[in-house]
């Protein structure tokens, strides 16, 4: 009897001690930031951190809400991982642009490493990243990115896209062809060729790209990044690995075909330029970066980024036109008055201020990369009075920039007048950071801007976009399909030929 009482008292004592230690842990770990000058943040629990306070299915909104309570620099714990979040235009710009070196590394999550093995231009750091980014920027510009050559490629591709839309004769259809068109523009630079829209390789590229973008942003894959040992139990991770295997096989085949016909005296595309550079540096120490893995993953990174972001943004543009018909009317009035029926050129942008404002507002309002890709600090630093250690994961919250209430007159409304002055002329806005900024700014920005303008104006010049029969403009769904980027949910609309 006494032994039972003793055991009971011992159990109660141990439980009480556990509770005391737990409370001490909470108090110490959550209040000690004041002594260390850590950024503020919500109280966390062991193992899970702040996961119970965050909606992983719409992470950017959860972080945006937290920023309103904890300020423009705060910290959260994704499980055991500490993450510093930067919110608001002024803070994000200060970090990404004014302190570009300190915030300039990429956070290589377990998934990004699985897919890229530290190679390529998006998910790498150090000398390899510096060399690949420099080479990619220089080469893409040399072979026409953002220049006359690219303009002709985009105009030609817009012709194929218009024919694709015409075949539906005003009936409802989905927007997959937009992805094919966007993929063909970047393919012209990377491989020196375009694909027919029914080509199996092109369809594979687009299908894998769309699936992977969605899967990468899923809650289960975010959990995998925190606890990689869960990989074998995560179906989305297994699907990503399978997709990656299939996608890489197609790219290896395309690169192998170019190698078979390679002539170092003739540069047909990005792949050729890489091979020429590799041959030129064969006895140079810099040649260590010019190997097949870097070629494969750099091409993969550029193809994915060059296809998805432009296609998703253009799809949002057309969806907004089907939703806001009065805005579409005004765009088409301007196009008819200024351009008429002739071919639109990039130089016409300056004479189409309202149309240009609608494109920019579509990018702002769509907010397709709400958290950007995560960064990692390169050294210890003090930022806005807080100590941030070297190697800390940093999330620049672009949602808080593009919806910053101190920068935009009506941030939660689709309003092209954000980009127009009182005289109706286009104005640039500093808080328009749709392409991020600093060392990790989108290296294809000039091409993406040209594509959006030429594709959008060409399509609006020839078609009126409306919801499908039986769907009112009020029923057009603007809630996004959440992934690594925010894409429109699968839905149809009609493209009616203009007279």
pLDDT in tens, 328-347: 999 999 999 999 999 999 99
Structure-block tokens of residue 17: 């001690």
pLDDT band at 281 (very low <50, low <70, confident <90, very high): confident
Contact 172, 207 (CB under 8 A): no
Residue with tokens 């309570």: 69
Predicted model pTM: 0.91
82: part of which helix (H) or strand (E)? strand 81-87
Residue 8 has pLDDT above 60, yes or no: no
- The CATH classification number of 32-105+376-402 equals 3.30.43
Residues 6+ apart with CB under 8 A from 260: none
User: What is the Cα–Cα distance from 89 to 400, expressed in whole angstroms?
Assistant: 7
Residue with tokens 């490493």: 113
496: left (phi over 0), alpha (psi -120 to 50) or beta: beta
β 386-388/393-397 pair status: unpaired
pLDDT in tens, 55-71: 998 999 999 999 999 99
User: What is the Cα–Cα distance from 380 to 390, expressed in whole angstroms?
Assistant: 4
Contact 435, 94 (CB under 8 A): no
Structure-block tokens of residue 231: 């990989």
β 393-397/375-376 pair status: antiparallel
Residue 28 has pLDDT above 60, yes or no: no
Residue with tokens 């990044």: 225
Structure-block tokens of residue 417: 């007048």
pLDDT in tens, 390-444: 999 999 999 999 999 999 999 999 999 999 999 999 999 999 998 888 888 888 8
Count how many residues are written for the chain: 499
Structure-block tokens of residue 225: 């990044």
Q: Across all residues in the chain, what is the average pLDDT? A: 90
pLDDT in tens, 444-472: 889 999 999 999 999 999 999 999 999 99
Residue 18 has pLDDT above 60, yes or no: no
Contact 86, 72 (CB under 8 A): yes
User: What is the Cα–Cα distance from 370 to 360, expressed in whole angstroms?
Assistant: 16
pLDDT in tens, 82-131: 999 999 999 999 999 999 999 999 999 999 999 999 999 999 999 999 99
Per-residue confidence (pLDDT) for residue 437, from 0 to 100: 80
Per-residue confidence (pLDDT) for residue 428, from 0 to 100: 95
Per-residue confidence (pLDDT) for residue 436, from 0 to 100: 82
3-state secondary structure of 196: coil
DSSP 97: I
3-state secondary structure of 287: helix
Residue 2 has pLDDT above 50, yes or no: no
Would you tell me the crossing angle of helices 353-366 and 292-323 to the nearest 10 degrees? 110
Bridge partner list, 45: 49
pLDDT band at 17 (very low <50, low <70, confident <90, very high): very low
User: What is the Cα–Cα distance from 180 to 161, expressed in whole angstroms?
Assistant: 9
Vertex 90, ends 84 and 96: CA angle to 5°?
Answer: 55
């Amino acid at each position: 009897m006494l032994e039972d009482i003793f055991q009971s008292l011992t159990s109660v004592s141990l439980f009480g001690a556990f509770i005391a230690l737990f409370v001490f842990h909470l108090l110490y770990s959550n209040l000690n930031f004041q002594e260390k000058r850590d950024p503020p943040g919500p109280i966390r629990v062991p193992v899970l951190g702040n996961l119970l306070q965050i909606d992983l299915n719409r992470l950017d909104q959860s972080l945006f809400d937290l920023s309103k309570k904890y300020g423009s620099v705060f910290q959260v714990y994704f499980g055991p991982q500490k993450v510093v979040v930067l919110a608001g235009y002024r803070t994000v710009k200060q970090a990404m642009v004014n302190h570009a070196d300190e915030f300039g590394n990429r956070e290589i999550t377990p998934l990004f490493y699985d897919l890229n093995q530290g190679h390529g231009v998006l998910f790498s750091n150090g000398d390899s990243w510096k060399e690949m980014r420099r080479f990619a920027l220089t080469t893409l510009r040399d072979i026409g990115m953002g220049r006359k050559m690219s303009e002709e490629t985009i105009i030609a591709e817009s012709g194929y896209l218009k024919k694709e839309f015409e075949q539906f004769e005003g009936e409802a259809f989905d927007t997959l062809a937009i992805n094919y068109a966007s993929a063909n523009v970047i393919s012209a630079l990377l491989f020196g060729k375009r694909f027919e829209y029914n080509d199996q390789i092109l369809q594979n590229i687009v299908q894998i790209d769309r699936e992977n973008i969605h899967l990468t942003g899923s809650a289960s894959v975010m959990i995998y990044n925190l606890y990689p040992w869960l990989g074998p139990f995560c179906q989305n991770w297994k699907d990503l690995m399978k997709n990656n295997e299939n996608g890489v096989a197609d790219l290896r085949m395309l690169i192998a075909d170019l190698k078979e016909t390679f002539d170092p005296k003739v540069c047909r595309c990005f792949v050729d330029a890489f091979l020429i550079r590799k041959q030129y540096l064969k006895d140079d120490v810099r040649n260590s970066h010019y190997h097949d893995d870097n070629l494969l993953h750099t091409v993969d990174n550029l193809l994915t980024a060059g296809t998805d972001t432009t296609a998703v943004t253009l799809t949002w543009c057309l969806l907004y036109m089907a939703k806001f018909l009065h805005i579409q009317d005004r765009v088409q009035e301007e196009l008819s008055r200024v351009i008429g029926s002739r071919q639109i050129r990039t130089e016409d942008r300056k004479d189409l201020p309202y149309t240009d404002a609608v494109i920019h507002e579509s990018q702002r309002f769509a907010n397709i990369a709400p958290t950007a890709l995560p960064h990692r600090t390169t050294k210890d630093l003090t930022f806005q009075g807080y100590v941030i250690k070297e190697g800390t994961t940093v999330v620049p919250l672009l949602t808080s920039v593009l919806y910053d209430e101190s920068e935009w007159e009506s941030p939660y409304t689709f309003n092209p007048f954000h980009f127009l002055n009182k005289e109706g002329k286009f104005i640039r806005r500093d808080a328009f950071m749709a392409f991020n900024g600093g060392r990790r700014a989108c290296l294809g920005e000039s091409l993406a801007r040209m594509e959006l303008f030429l594709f959008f104006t060409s399509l609006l010049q020839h078609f009126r976009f409306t919801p499908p029969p039986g769907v009112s403009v009020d029923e057009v769904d603007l809630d996004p399909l959440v992934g690594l980027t925010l894409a429109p949910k699968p839905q149809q609309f009609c493209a009616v030929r203009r007279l």
